[in-house]
Structure 1
């Protein structure tokens, strides 16, 4: 009777990784980097071909275009990160399978779960990188990317960037409401300003101004053609001044309804912004919550997509690498489809943003478990 042994490859270096582990990890990271370097220039070329006429017509300075494509690179890579990661794993794992390297590894007594270790380590490295980028770097690039598009390329220009920039109405706390007819982002001036204060559903005071300008040096506002009406029990009190400087509890962003504001905020600022908008009863709160939850869900997808990709491509198929890539592309675009559809549903309805953002990970997480069990057999 032969005694069954559980063979293990000898440990080598950091985290007990073997030479084969380091080989797979190196291929994992290198192929992912190569996939980015291959597809990002293609994305830039396509974007340039679509926008070159508007760039020439608007006489956009070359420095502005260069800055735009710096932000475009980061924004584009972050948006399509799941597809790039998935296809890169499918690609190099299929090559390992076609060269019978995976069969040799598993034949040595290494379990399929142990074989996954370098993949999981690679997914951890990329997840941490994507998480940090999503917290601090991507928001700045999102701001630069969207500002360029709305300023120079969109049909409505800066008017489109501001969304519905006429008749902006905001509740800034439980008792106060502000209104401006429009806001100029360059001069930081709002027109036809109104501030109303209520107590027990009754108007207490109303401030109006033909213009109100933000003063960044001391965080004050200068109002022109200022008028304040204080409602009294018998007579109202009217106060008028040609120009008046004052401090208010609302922020400049309350006058600037930028359609992509949540995407441009770092994690801490986004959390504070959402907390403030919740207190004010903002109708766009679901949009902001979707952005927040995606900062955490996208890095987690690296693990799920890694397991699916390895499970699909570790077996030699009759169609070879082409069949694996076909299956991989279908799954990757299915993930992106679910992500976009449920995100849009949450933004446009009362559907839970948390469930909408995490549903693709939950669905494909179950798929990953199923495929992993099948691959082990």
Structure 2
């Protein structure tokens, strides 16, 4: 097949996150299987406009907003070339059905529904535009096409909050982590938080919980790994015992995560929670709020703890620190082993080829 993977950013973009990991891990596997793959995306300063990586042809153009019309123009000029377009929605999709041939198979890939997050990142009028594009305009534009969600709760949110009517298939994230030798859990309680430092991740809630936790465990430390627009504000309010590491290479990140007693996610909502499964692969359970995506990635009482929104985070983490033992390590690793990028690529390839896939919990 000739496949265009259209995504807001590529994995080397300075603001890349889990959506970019999903798109790239699948794209490189499609290319490895013999398909012709283009990865069409925005261009950060210093990035090449064109290059080929692992058999995937990258075409970069535009910035945060200009990438949308530029990508549509790029596809329009090549409308007869592609058999399949994976149109990855990061709040707003690319509306590729408007410019490709009718017989081209378009899959709208949705990580999570952004309706509640637009107001966190944008002024009121622009948030309203975002919700209109994500909801009624997207629903109409993709009405004849199948969609892909990365978790059951995302698929449910598409139905209930966006009014999506067509087929929605669940294709989970895989897990791929470096496992350095000799990692041992720290003697003193240690927390880790991995993710982009953006408003809806609410990392400030973890910082606010640290002083209370250190009154009980004076040696408790916290490692925050990630970068983003909230970094300066978070650094300005760092309590004692917290280190903001910014970006770390995969091996260094894995060493810090593997030493932690508990991984903490304070996000308002996720598509899946890739960092949760990466921590689980290293045997580290997660404390998270019971929100979209995270309620799928965390198995309460087995691979972590889910807190109701509004629950005191310090108390929730304290409960986890009291309960965590080797059984959580074992169950976390068993859970993470169920997810594979190879299996995800095989499932999506079957969908693109029009082959039937198993029904049930994964097809809503």
Q: TM-score scaled to structure 1, two decimals?
A: 0.26
Greater helix share, 1 or 2? 1
Q: TM-score scaled to structure 2, two decimals?
A: 0.26
Greater radius of gyration (CA):
1
